[in-house]
């Protein structure tokens, strides 16, 4: 019996990912190294770019978000404090991403699993939206039911796109391969004819707040839908209006604006348990740092609401 336990222990050790952090100064928010804290959050840079079908550049998203985050004001005027001191945020050193998308997704799954084993909160910075099914795998195994709060211009319900079942256009469909996953989507304004039958068949698992109906969104309904749920948040930046966020591979007009986005996240933070997150599809444009900064501030806001609401 003792020999069997030892083998299991060795096997688990083999599966562990060695989490190595950047210095505070080089990581997310660029916090002075003199400030010491016990982390609750781990930022995971994961610039996977394998299936983009229009504009490219998402591989550079994580490093530009981290760079821009050094300009984000640490004090939050809304909450009258410096949230990072109450949260504790560390950033993983960038690691090699496998060229094979299936192997790459298994890697991010292992990384998130290790972070969860340490009872920490993973926030992954992509990269394209195809990262999300890999990101959520360890959450799906830990929770009886999990609700994905999904910000996006696109439904991402295709079974495959350009012959790839793990395409960025299939991200949410792959998440729904797990039977204990449900979806609440905000900002959708682009869906193909082939996705509609799947949507109708799975309407008990998918709730969409369509962008075209923004002025009529029932936020009381949203509050009820998300109440007491275990939530994973995935944010494709093309969910934002393209006038606000053109730095993405597939921009769409008619999307979310800053204040309404924050309001949705606040409602979720107040009424549910957000256990993990990813932000994806930033394709930085050289010389236009405001878009990188927006995403960096969004990431800080998500964490602030998660821990201080």
166-189 burial, b at 16+ Cβ within 10 Å, e below that, comes to bbbbbbbbbbbebeebbbbbbbbb
pLDDT (0 to 100) of residue 14: 42
Q: Per the domain annotation, does 42 fall within a domain?
A: yes
Q: Is the pTM for the entire model greater than 0.75?
A: yes
The token pair that represents 49 in the structure block = 């770019």
Distance CA 98, CA 96 (A): 6
Nearest CA to 153 among 125, 174, 129? Answer: 129
Q: Per the domain annotation, does 288 fall within a domain?
A: yes
Nearest CA to 187 among 127, 125, 254, 250? Answer: 254
Q: Per the domain annotation, does 172 fall within a domain?
A: yes
> 3-state class of 191 per DSSP?
coil
Count of domains forming the chain: 1
Distance CA 309, CA 304 (A): 8
Domain limits at 40? 36-308
pLDDT one digit per residue (tens) for the chain, 309 residues: 555 555 545 444 444 567 899 999 999 999 987 677 789 999 999 999 876 655 578 999 999 999 999 999 999 999 999 999 999 999 999 999 998 999 999 999 999 999 999 999 999 999 899 999 999 999 999 999 999 999 999 999 999 888 888 888 899 999 999 999 999 999 999 999 999 999 999 999 999 999 999 999 999 999 999 999 999 999 999 999 999 999 998 999 999 999 999 999 999 999 999 999 999 999 999 999 999 999 999 999 999 999 999
> What are the Cα distances from residue 57, in Å, to 137, 180, 285, 290?
26, 33, 8, 16
Helical (H) or strand (E) element with 135? helix 132-142
pLDDT (0 to 100) of residue 15: 45
Distance CA 191, CA 200 (A): 13
Q: Per the domain annotation, does 220 fall within a domain?
A: yes
pLDDT (0 to 100) of residue 37: 78
pLDDT (0 to 100) of residue 54: 57
The token pair that represents 45 in the structure block = 């840079």
pLDDT (0 to 100) of residue 1: 55
Q: Per the domain annotation, does 27 fall within a domain?
A: no
Q: Per the domain annotation, does 21 fall within a domain?
A: no
Distance CA 105, CA 38 (A): 28
Nearest CA to 93 among 42, 135, 40? Answer: 42
pLDDT (0 to 100) of residue 134: 97
pLDDT (0 to 100) of residue 166: 85
Q: Per the domain annotation, does 69 fall within a domain?
A: yes
Q: Per the domain annotation, does 11 fall within a domain?
A: no
CATH number of the domain at 166, please.
3.40.800.10
> What are the Cα distances from residue 247, in Å, to 48, 77, 239?
16, 27, 12
């Amino acid at each position: 019996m003792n020999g069997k336990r030892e083998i299991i222990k060795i096997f688990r050790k083999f599966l562990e990912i060695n989490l190595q952090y950047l210095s505070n100064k080089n990581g997310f928010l660029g916090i002075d190294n003199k400030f010491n804290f016990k982390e609750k959050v781990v930022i995971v840079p994961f610039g996977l770019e394998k299936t983009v079908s229009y504009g490219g550049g998402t591989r550079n998203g994580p490093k530009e978000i981290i760079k821009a985050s050094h300009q984000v004001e640490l004090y939050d005027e809304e909450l009258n404090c410096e949230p990072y001191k109450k949260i504790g945020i560390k950033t993983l050193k960038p690691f090699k991403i496998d060229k094979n998308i299936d192997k790459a997704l298994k890697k991010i799954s292992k990384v998130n699993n290790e972070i969860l084993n340490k009872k920490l909160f993973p926030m992954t910075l992509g990269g394209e939206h195809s990262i999300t099914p890999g990101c959520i795998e360890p959450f799906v195994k830990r929770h009886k039911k999990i609700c994905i709060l999904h910000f996006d211009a696109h439904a991402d319900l295709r079974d495959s796109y350009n012959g790839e079942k793990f395409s960025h256009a299939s991200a949410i469909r792959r998440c729904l391969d797990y039977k204990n996953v449900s979806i609440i989507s905000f900002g959708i304004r682009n869906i193909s004819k082939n996705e509609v039958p799947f949507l109708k068949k799975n309407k008990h698992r998918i709730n969409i707040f369509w962008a075209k109906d923004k002025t009529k969104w029932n936020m009381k309904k949203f509050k009820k839908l998300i109440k007491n749920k275990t939530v994973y948040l995935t944010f494709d930046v093309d969910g934002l209006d393209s006038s606000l966020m053109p730095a993405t591979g597939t921009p769409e007009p008619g999307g979310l604006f800053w204040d309404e986005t924050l309001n949705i996240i606040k409602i979720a933070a107040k009424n549910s348990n957000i256990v993990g997150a990813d932000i994806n599809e930033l394709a930085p444009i050289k010389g236009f740092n405001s878009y990188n900064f927006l995403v960096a501030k969004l990431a800080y806001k998500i964490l602030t609401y998660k821990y201080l609401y």
